[in-house]
Structure 1
Amino acid sequence: MVKSLLSLAALLLGSAFLLFAGGVNSLILPIRGEAEGFTATSLGLLGTGWAIGYVTGCLRTPSLVARVGHIRAFGAMCAIAAIAVLLSLVAITPWVWIPVRALSGFCFAGAAMIVESWLNERTEASSRGRVFGIYTMVNLAATTAGQMVLTLGDANGFFFFVLAAMVYCLALLPTAISATTTPRPLTQVSLNLKSLWKNSPIAFFAVLMVGVSNASFGTLAAVYGARIGLSLGDIALFASIPILAGAALQIPVGIASDRLDRRKVLIGITGFALLADVLFLVSGASHPGVVLGLSALFGATVFSMYPVIVAHANDHAEPGTYIQVSGGLLLVFGLGSIVGPTVAGFSMANFGPASLFAVTGIAHIFLIVFAVIRIRKAPPVKTENKVSFQAKPMARMSTPETAALGADQDELDADQPIEAADTSAAPKSESKE
């Protein structure tokens, strides 16, 4: 029993190392790039590159692991991620940083999936919910710590690049000390757009718009902060506060969405997100306290949308497809994450830093309008037919394996065997809401 708990703690520590290094890397690049005079367009393309790599990693890692095994694949992912960070320091140019950032996204997704697979293997049915909750909190704390550590040094030096590379290497420890047999094959999903649209048009469209909005902010928040004159400490807070606020709001939002029409709850929180967009546009960034306060409102809303969307999609999913639907929606989120930073970066380069929130605002308007149209066309799901809402990590910190780790035993029993899953399978029901 003690040995099992120790191995679980080691895996959680490995995940914390991954997310800490990812937090450092995701914030140091835009801050350093801004200091080096990179354009907002090229800095936006860093987010696009990362999203392309992340989606590719989610799709390709299962087959890679099937060929070379979990331990070798994990070691390669961590080593390449460390090399990518150091290469960003050696060649400070966007033409190197953009493809290297894509490589980082691929490795980050693959390493996270393998750690989650190991956690899945070690987690008993009776403790699955508790372990998933701890895993989510550990990742949230590690990401926030990785971003906040930038306040302790000079972003123009080499320290934070080396730190991120070192911590990626430390993430190798869980597999090095694990004596478990090889875990089951990784969760494998396909980007079956027709199937996801048929399951729930509003979930499909909403998660695409949330991908545009959240990835735009996640990539360019530091650039916005630098261009309106925030200090390095305030920039770190500006990037971190929204994540914490989004995590805190998931509990009341989840309670509301279990009791009410999830589509109306989604419209409500998107309306508050749109309010934050407008306030950013009209406030003129007059005071750091105002900016940080608005960032809390923005983050509390935009980072609590994704679990509502997943819950709504699963309300309509056929038994045996929950994990596939959740994983598919994550990939659609990734598609939005590819588009959003590019558009937002171009807008900031041509119309000023506040245009970041014009892009997020337009995405939120589209989401609200589409949701209103769908509400008029389809009745709500009855309360007794809803699946239980489950708080989730930010979508950009999730993989298809996260959906499997977070599933309860009934869902796992109902789902197709993961190692034999038909990744092109689609729900058989007609188009729903």
Structure 2
Amino acid sequence: MSLRATLIGIFALLLGAGALNLGMGLQASLLGVRAGLEGFPTPLIGLIMSAYYAGFVAGSLFAPKIVARVGHIRTFSAFASLASAAALCHAVFVDPLSWAILRGLTGVCFAALALVTESWLNERSSNLNRGTVLSIYFVVILASTAVGQAFLMMAPPSGYDLFIFVSVIISVALVPITLTSTPTPAISEPRRMALRRLFGISPVGVAGCFGAGLVTGAFWALGAVYAQGKGLPTDDIAIFMTLVVGGGVVTQWPFGRLSDQMDRRYVIGGITVAIAILGAIAGLGLFPEGQGLYVLGVLMGGLVLPLYGLVIAHANDFLEQEDFVPASASLLLLYGAGAIVGPLLATGVMEFVGPDGLFLHLAVAAALLAVFTFYRMTQRAAVPSEDNVDFVFAQGVSPVSFELDPRSDIEEGCETDT
């Protein structure tokens, strides 16, 4: 099947995925800003934001069983309806405990929705165009997430309007998915590699995915809270968060291609050192404020968002092709675990030192990962650059996305550690 025919076939899927991520992107920033307006204690805001990742990890574990039992369309319809209802309930039950429960439910729903969408994309792609399909899919995700930030300017976050809009957008995502004529694929529970074996193969991959979760989860969950704490009005918070996503989009490929030409650990170590330095400068209040906050958002987004993809690429340098999917599925869970812990730690620091504490957390987490990465460089020789697998645009979505990855070698019946 030609790429053009494939893209026509997956257009409805991409449209639905775009609507979902637009709604989810807006909701994440909206909740952070509204929690600040409601006067929620900073640690409780961290708990609310961490609940999403806890739900996402849980959903990633049991969603395949649900899809196998009731099918793709029913699963998508059920969880999209739940996510839409949860968005509205945030505006009705405005208290930290309710929001934490609802945020966790949203994470569960999004894990299931991403699994359904990506398994369909995998079915509609071929070995010749999987890389292109994956790249287009991730561009749609990030572009939609960035657009979602801009919608924060549409109405005051203190009212109901934005919560209703999130609910409507998630509900609209049902339309192209449920009406698609694309055949539903078979799905099985993702295979995962034992963490002990995975650490023996790639220590930097294991530590790096957890560290990327600590950094990315905290920055993404609390970026809007930080901007609000620095005194930015709602419209400027939306611009700040849009620039964060934009910075990450711009730097994905340059960092990825650079890592293809050298020991990838130099790039991972260099990025984490840069995050640590920038985080320390901002955390100590030494970075220029005003317009400088926008520069800070672009720079930190450009450093933080590519980190997960680089770590996955590094781990894959040491994996057999048939191990890529189960290893990456385990690494995704590690990333999710880090993203659960990251906002909790960051808000603990923010409680003591104010909004700049977010960047102190980023500095410490990144510095620890940098130290471990450079230490491992003294313990193992680099993979020759000509033997490196190619970097591929990657984000932590669902395990099925790794089956779309051209670096994987999908073989039925492969056994792996569990």
- Same fold flag (TM > 0.5): yes
Q: CA deviation at 1:191?
A: 6.9
Does the CA contact (< 8 Å) of 1:246 and 1:299 recur in 2? yes
Q: CA deviation at 1:283?
A: 3.4
Does the CA contact (< 8 Å) of 2:115 and 2:399 recur in 1? yes
CA deviation string 1:70-129 (max 9, x = no partner): 111111110010111111111000010001100000101110110111111112333222
Q: CA deviation at 1:4?
A: 6.1
Does the CA contact (< 8 Å) of 2:54 and 2:107 recur in 1? yes
Match status 1:402 vs 2:401: yes
Partner of 1:248: 250
Does the CA contact (< 8 Å) of 1:17 and 1:167 recur in 2? yes
Distance across 2 between alignment mates of 1:28 and 1:107: 18
Match status 1:306 vs 2:308: yes
Distance across 1 between alignment mates of 2:16 and 2:188: 18
Does the CA contact (< 8 Å) of 1:187 and 1:404 recur in 2? no
Distance across 2 between alignment mates of 1:389 and 1:416: 21
Could you tell me which of 32, 35, 38 is aligned with 1:30?
32
Distance across 2 between alignment mates of 1:11 and 1:262: 33
One-letter identity of the residue aligned with 2:136: I
Distance across 2 between alignment mates of 1:170 and 1:139: 16
One-letter identity of the residue aligned with 2:403: A
Aligned residues, how many? 416
Partner of 1:169: 171
Partner of 1:357: 359
Q: CA deviation at 1:187?
A: 5.7
Distance across 2 between alignment mates of 1:180 and 1:145: 27
Q: Which runs of 5+ in 2 are unaligned?
A: none
Does the CA contact (< 8 Å) of 2:34 and 2:158 recur in 1? yes
> The residue matched to 2:66 in structure 1 has which SS?
helix
Could you tell me which of 51, 54, 65 is aligned with 2:53?
51
Partner of 2:44: 42
Match status 1:340 vs 2:339: no
Distance across 2 between alignment mates of 1:422 and 1:240: 42
Partner of 1:112: 114
Distance across 2 between alignment mates of 1:191 and 1:338: 21
- List aligned pairs for 1:85-234, cutoff 5 A: 85-186=87-188, 188-190=190-192, 192-234=194-236
Return closer, same or farther for 1:12/1:156 CA change in 2, 3 Å cut-off. Answer: same
Q: CA deviation at 1:5?
A: 4.7
Distance across 1 between alignment mates of 2:369 and 2:243: 24
Q: CA deviation at 1:6?
A: 4.0
CA RMSD of aligned residues (A): 1.8
Distance across 2 between alignment mates of 1:174 and 1:134: 18
Q: Which runs of 5+ in 1 are unaligned?
A: 426-433
Return closer, same or farther for 1:37/1:421 CA change in 2, 3 Å cut-off. Answer: farther
Q: CA deviation at 1:422?
A: 4.3
Does the CA contact (< 8 Å) of 2:350 and 2:358 recur in 1? yes
Could you tell me which of 42, 60, 68 is aligned with 1:66?
68
Could you tell me which of 415, 418, 424 is aligned with 2:417?
424
Q: CA deviation at 1:362?
A: 0.7
Does the CA contact (< 8 Å) of 1:54 and 1:105 recur in 2? yes
Distance across 2 between alignment mates of 1:349 and 1:191: 38
Does the CA contact (< 8 Å) of 1:10 and 1:174 recur in 2? yes
